[in-house]
Amino acid sequence: MMTSQYQGWLSFPCGVPEILYECKECLVINKPPGILVQSPPGVPSLVEMLRDFLANREQPRTGIYLGVPHRLDRPVTGAILFTRHSRATRRITEQFESRMIRKIYWAVVEGCVEPSVGVWRDFVRKIPNEPQAEIVPESHPDARHAVLHYHVIQQWENKTWLEIHLETGRMHQIRIQASSRNHAILGDWQYGSSVDLATDQRDPRLKPIALHAREITFLHPMTFETLKVIAPLPAYWREISPVFVQFEATGFHGCEPGMSKTSDDCPPTT
């Protein structure tokens, strides 16, 4: 069960996880910011918090099984998929390994991204003994190819709202690829952002960034039905721009894929 180290530090909003989809085999929740998905003993983690919640709800005679076929970075929010038994874990893991699972991210970055639709290709590596990644030459012995596809949803006040599809899944991939192009994700102090999205939060590890796992599409591990789960935006996005207040009220998406809307502060994209 959750130890006293968890109490008063990290918790689910309203005390319970925001479950977006649930069945006997798996569940998808809307991950809050500032929480590690998995962690060493004694450090709060999403897995332990969710396991405690399920144990309290279900009162099982044995322990709670919770498989973790993928992760989200600590400051990232959005849809994350867990499994409830080993067969489901194996089948979902196989889908990730064969790139059958489609994940869509939304990000707000600094600057005006051009062109409005594009592909970013880089070589990256994890910095030894540091929780950080960097761009490296292709010839580097630790280089791993990183590819993402994006389109601009909207631009305003020298900021860009992007929809991103990862072709590869490298450590901090979206964050380092955006930062290396002078388009740091808002709030991402680790990769050079000048914007603070949580001025009242002193611990930088707990600060959120404007990167959200908006959508995950996968095959149900037993029935093989296609499931698409969409994660609502966290409340702090409303403070980023009135655009997101309007979006929350009307469902306005900004534009269709491959198109963009710009403000006078950003040059037209081509």
Domain-by-domain residue ranges, the chain?
Answer: 13-250
* Residue 73 known to be catalytic: yes
**pLDDT given for residue 265 in this prediction:** 52
Which conformational region is residue 205 in: left (phi greater than 0), alpha (psi within -120 to 50 degrees), or beta?
alpha
**pLDDT given for residue 63 in this prediction:** 84
pLDDT tens-place string over residues 210-220? 999 999 999 99
**CA triplet 158, 161, 115: central angle to 5 degrees?**
75
Q: What share of the chain in percent tops pLDDT 70?
A: 86
Instruction: Reply yes or no on whether the pLDDT at 126 is more than 90.
Output: yes
Please tell me the least confidently modeled range out of 16-25, 57-66, 148-157, 185-194: 57-66
Mean pLDDT, residues 27-35 taken together: 95
Which pLDDT band holds residue 4 (cuts at 50, 70, 90)?
very low
pLDDT tens-place string over residues 110-119? 999 999 999 9
Are the C-beta atoms of residues 38 and 68 closer than 8 Å to each other?
yes
Mean pLDDT, residues 182-195 taken together: 96
How far, in Å, are 109, 162, 197, 209, 233 from residue 204 at the CA level?
19, 24, 11, 11, 21
pLDDT tens-place string over residues 134-161? 999 999 999 999 999 999 999 999 999 9
Per-chain mean pLDDT for the chain? 88
Annotated catalytic residue: which of 73, 122, 196, 200? Answer: 73
**pLDDT given for residue 135 in this prediction:** 98
CATH number 3.30.2350.10 is the correct assignment for the domain at 13-250 = yes
Cis amide prior to 267 (ω within 30 degrees):
no
Pairing of strands 77-83, 211-219: parallel
**pLDDT given for residue 250 in this prediction:** 64
Instruction: Reply yes or no on whether the pLDDT at 5 is more than 70.
Output: no
Mean pLDDT, residues 236-257 taken together: 71
